[in-house]
Amino acid sequence: MSNYGLIILFALLAGFLIDTLTVVLNIRSQQDAPPTEVAGFIDLPTWKKTMAHARAKAALEIIASGSKLTALLIWWFAGGFAWLDRLVTSWKLGALADGVLYVTLLVLAFKLFALPFKIYNTFVLEARFGFNRTTLATFVDDRAKGLLLAIVVGGPVLTVVLFLYYFKKEFAWLYCWGIGAAFLVFILYIAPVLLMPMFNRFTPLPEGALRESILNYLQKVGVPFSGIFTMDGSRRSSRTNAFLTGLGNHKRIALFDTLLQRHPELEVVAILAHEVGHHVLGHVVRITVLGIGQLGLLCGLLAVAMQQPELHRDFFMDRITLHGGFVFFILLSVPLDLLTGPLLKAISRRFEYAADRYAADTCGNPAALVSALKRLAVDNLTLLTPHPWHVLLHYTHPPLLRRIAAIEQQARETKNG
């Protein structure tokens, strides 16, 4: 086995072991009773329920990731990649069609393998803790629409990528990078209008005190938007959330109906202010730019990987193929993700602190934001004392207690200053 294969194998095994270790450390570090810093807003029964939920999620995560890794290794060393290549090429559809079909079948197989874990998580684990409201019909409908989107959107994108690498070999990575960057920006525009309504119903927020408070706040901070909507999140889960999506004047505000049911007006505005902060402070643009930069790096590495005979031999392929190089590159990117993942999550956590500061400043009511965060944590059974290593590797948001401490420290400084 060449260095390519060894790197992939090591990264897959190391990634699984590191993830498993951090999950175990995270669970074992928890106390049987709520520590003093959280005892003021979470009682013992809720704490025990949160711990039970965390343990159940951790067990499912380890079993699911371990099963996926085992299946991948069996498929790899049993010659599955080469077998599928011989099967697809035997249909004599042409190089480009062979590549599209090869990747599509692998993705479909992966989705089907992961489906039982999604079913268990939705209808057993989430239901056990009172979160799930998804009916079987809604679950099937979501999967069908997701498959349709993959075919309508993902199919042409995959075809274009393989076409460029097949016919424009020298500058293929550059073309793909440009098209991919344009596609990412385009998705930010069309997602609120075309994609999200495929899965949820968005109803204009009715006239009333809450709408007036939101409009007054948005006018105060000077943020343009195209609409304020209530989203039927309760159709799938009892969890609460809010988000602001889109770019420029096409931003849409979405408030989960569960959020409106459980939070008073001041807290809803504070939560929305946090989301507004991400846009005003340029976090959405920066994340998009980082994504485009990462995409360019991946496109360049893909051009190299597609031409490596050693990489194909490591997967027992009899010949060099574009689609083989594409799939093996995805596996080769696992080591890159191990290195860049924690850095990107650290950037995301910094953005969350900044959005909290913005919300506390512009709302003028830090207590409402703190109260909202506490209520969100209790309602969503958020683990309040995660292990530092688990935060480092997995958390895109800072732990709740650190967020609250930062907000309260800012409020004290503002009051004294």
| Model pLDDT for residues 8-18, shown as the tens digit of each residue | 889 889 889 99
Q: Does 329 map to a domain?
A: yes
- φ, ψ of residue 132 in degrees (nearest 5): -75, 130
Query: Residue 101: which domain range?
Result: 3-199+280-339
Q: Residue 251 falls within a domain, yes or no? A: no
249 occurs within a structural domain: no
d(CA 256, CA 272): 11
**CA-based R_g, the chain, Å:** 24
Task: Please write the tens of the pLDDT for every residue from 101-129.
Answer: 999 999 999 999 999 999 999 999 999 99
> Is residue 64 in some structural domain?
yes
Distance CA 104, CA 106 (A): 5
Assess contact for 231 and 225: CB atoms under 8 A: no
Grade residue 372 by pLDDT with cuts at 50, 70 and 90: very high
Q: What is the pLDDT of residues 264-284, one digit of tens each?
A: 999 999 999 999 999 889 898
For residue 64, name the pLDDT band (cuts at 50, 70, 90): very high
State phi, psi for 222 to the nearest 5 degrees. 70, 40
Report pTM.
0.89
Q: What is the pLDDT of residue 150?
A: 85
In a domain, 225, yes or no: no
For 271-326, what is each residue's pLDDT tens digit?
999 999 998 898 988 988 888 888 888 888 777 777 778 888 899 988 888 888 88
Question: Is residue 193 domain-resident?
Answer: yes
Tell whether 219 is covered by a domain: no
Q: Considering its fold, how many domains does the chain have in total?
A: 1
Model confidence at 412, pLDDT cuts 50, 70, 90, reads: confident
Residue 171 lies in a domain: yes
Q: How many CB atoms lie within 10 A of CB 199?
A: 16
